[in-house]
Structure formats: structure tokens, C-alpha cells
């Protein structure tokens, strides 16, 4: 089965840049998406197709994929960006796959 | 304005069948532009994809759940439904309904918590 691996946690200081990685075999071919989930709320799509940003998502959020790693980058990190972040890919054999999630702490 | 509202029993006994409904408003469940998905999240844990459902009836299931899953679409009520048989405590989770577009889920419901316990 296909798997996506994320670091359990990432810490960043306010105003700095946070990078969250997601690793998986041939991820460059899996149309990576990223979701933000705050406590008690459903996930919100913040990046799709590796680097596209849905309307309403700040430009501070960006995505990239190279080889087997997708990266979500949050520039000028705000305290409100503190949340769990999940990557998601699509594989022809298993359809949708989520990474295990990364808790972003802004301190 | 798109709204997805999940509904379910809240509590299900082990070995019984979990039945959930997602009511879609603000969009047609028969839209050719979208499909619909189920995703669950055990308390304190990550997201697990359950199924993707197209109005045409085409479905894609998580291989680990496939043998216990049934999904359906009721276009007259603009609803989708999920049935998961022979539940155990491991099926305790917040169950989300989401709209799919391309290779992502672009809008999610608030979720409904299902607890499996005797």
C-alpha cells in the first residue's frame, strides 16, 4: 500500500518561515494536497496539485514537490497558523492517501 | 453556499452496522464537476480516507475497509450514505463528508462523532 510520511511536529517562531515535508514514493506524480486543521474544526484545503492555492488562502502559504518530497511552506508565520497539517496524495492503486499529520507550533 | 451535514447514531454497539448520511445543500450531488468522499479521524489521531463516491455510482474504497463498506447516493434527496458493518472500537472516530474535485477534497462538513461501545 502507498504511504506518506510527515514529521510529527515542527516548531517556528512568529514571523519566520515554517517548512513541513511529506515523503512518499514517486510523490511528484501524486498530485499532492495540503490541509490545515485547527482544534475542533474540519480540515481546510490550503494547497492542491503540489503548488496551487485555493481562493481565500493567504499567499504566505505555498507548496512545492520535488522527487519523492512535497513541502508546505508558510512564510511570515502567524500564531493563527498553529494547527495540524496533513498532506494527501492520490495513487492509482489505493486512490486517496493521507500523511500522518504534522503539528505546527508557533512560539 | 455549500453545506455538508453529516448525521448518524452517535453510538453503535460492537459487531453492528454503522450508518451515516451526508446531506448536501448549495450544490447538486449529481454535479459532473465533483465527487464526494468520506474521511474519518479517530480521537486524537490523523485522517483516514474511507471512500470516494461518484453520482454515477462509481466508487473507490479504502482497501482496508472495503470488505465491510457500502456507499450509496440518493439524488432525489441530495444525500450520500455510508454503511460500515461489523464495527469494533477501532471504528470510533469523527466521520467527515467532503466534496472532491480533481485529486483533492475542497470542502468538508463539520463531521459526526461515532462511538463504538456496548
Q: What is the pLDDT of residues B34-85, one digit of tens each?
A: 999 999 999 999 999 999 998 888 899 999 999 999 999 999 999 999 999 9
| End-to-end C-alpha distance for chain A, whole angstroms | 36
Q: So what's the pLDDT on residue A1?
A: 81
CA pair distance B19, A90, nearest whole angstrom: 26
Q: Do A43 and B105 count as a contact with CB atoms less than 8 A apart?
A: yes
What integer pLDDT is reported at residue A27 of this predicted model? Answer: 86
- Is the pLDDT reported for residue B15 higher than 80? yes
List all residues of chain A from 51 to 70 with a beta carbon under 8 Å from chain B: 54
3-class SS of residue B67: helix
Confidence (pLDDT) at B56: 82
β-strands A9-12, A102-106: how paired? parallel
Percent of chain B topping pLDDT 90: 88
CB contact under 8 A, A98 and B52: no
Task: Give me the residues of chain A with pLDDT under 50, please.
Answer: none
**What's the rounded mean pLDDT across residues B18-31?**
94
Is the Cβ pair B104, A88 closer than 8 Å?
A: yes
Interface test with A, best of B22, B47, B65 (most A CBs within 10 A): B47
Closest CA to B60 of B70, B52, B49, B50: B52
Chain A to chain B, count of Cβ pairs less than 8 Å apart? 61
pLDDT over 70, % of chain B: 100
The whole-chain average pLDDT of chain B stands at 95
pLDDT of residue A28: 82
**What is the structure's pLDDT at B32?**
82
Residue B26 pLDDT exceeds 80:
yes
pLDDT on residue B82: 97
Assess whether pLDDT exceeds 90 at residue B33: no
Measured CA to CA, the distance from residue A44 to residue A54 in angstroms comes to: 10
Cell of B101: 474535485
How high is the pLDDT of residue B53?
94
pLDDT of residue A45: 98
Cβ B104–A45 below 8 Å, yes or no?
yes
Instruction: Give the minimum alpha-carbon distance from A83 to chain B in angstroms, rounded to a whole number.
Output: 13
Give the closest residue to B104 by CA, choosing from A34, A74, A64: A34
Q: Does residue B96 surpass a pLDDT of 80?
A: yes
Q: What is the model's pLDDT at position B102? A: 87
pLDDT at B70: 96
Amino acid at each position: 500500500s502507498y504511504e506518506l510520511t510527515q514529521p510529527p511536529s515542527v516548531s517556528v517562531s512568529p514571523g519566520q518561515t515554517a517548512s513541513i515535508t511529506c515523503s512518499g514514493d514517486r510523490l511528484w506524480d501524486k498530485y499532492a494536497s495540503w490541509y490545515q486543521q485547527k482544534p475542533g474544526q474540519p480540515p481546510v484545503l490550503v494547497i492542491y496539485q503540489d503548488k496551487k492555492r485555493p481562493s481565500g488562502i493567504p499567499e504566505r502559504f505555498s507548496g512545492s514537490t520535488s522527487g519523492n518530497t512535497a513541502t508546505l511552506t508558510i512564510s511570515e508565520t502567524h500564531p493563527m497558523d498553529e494547527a495540524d497539517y496533513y498532506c494527501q496524495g492520490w495513487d492509482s492503486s489505493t486512490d486517496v492517501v493521507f500523511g500522518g499529520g504534522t503539528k505546527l507550533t508557533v512560539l | 453556499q455549500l453545506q455538508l451535514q453529516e448525521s448518524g447514531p452517535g453510538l453503535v454497539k460492537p459487531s453492528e452496522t454503522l450508518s451515516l448520511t451526508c446531506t448536501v445543500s448549495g450544490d447538486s450531488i449529481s454535479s459532473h464537476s465533483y465527487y464526494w468522499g468520506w474521511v474519518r479521524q479517530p480521537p486524537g489521531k490523523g485522517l483516514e480516507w474511507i471512500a470516494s463516491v461518484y453520482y454515477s455510482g462509481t466508487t473507490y474504497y479504502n482497501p482496508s475497509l472495503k470488505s465491510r463498506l457500502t456507499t450509496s447516493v440518493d439524488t432525489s434527496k441530495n444525500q450520500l450514505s455510508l454503511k460500515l458493518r461489523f464495527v469494533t472500537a477501532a471504528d470510533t472516530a469523527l466521520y467527515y463528508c467532503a466534496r472532491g474535485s480533481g485529486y483533492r477534497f475542497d470542502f468538508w462538513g463539520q463531521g459526526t462523532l461515532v462511538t463504538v461501545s456496548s
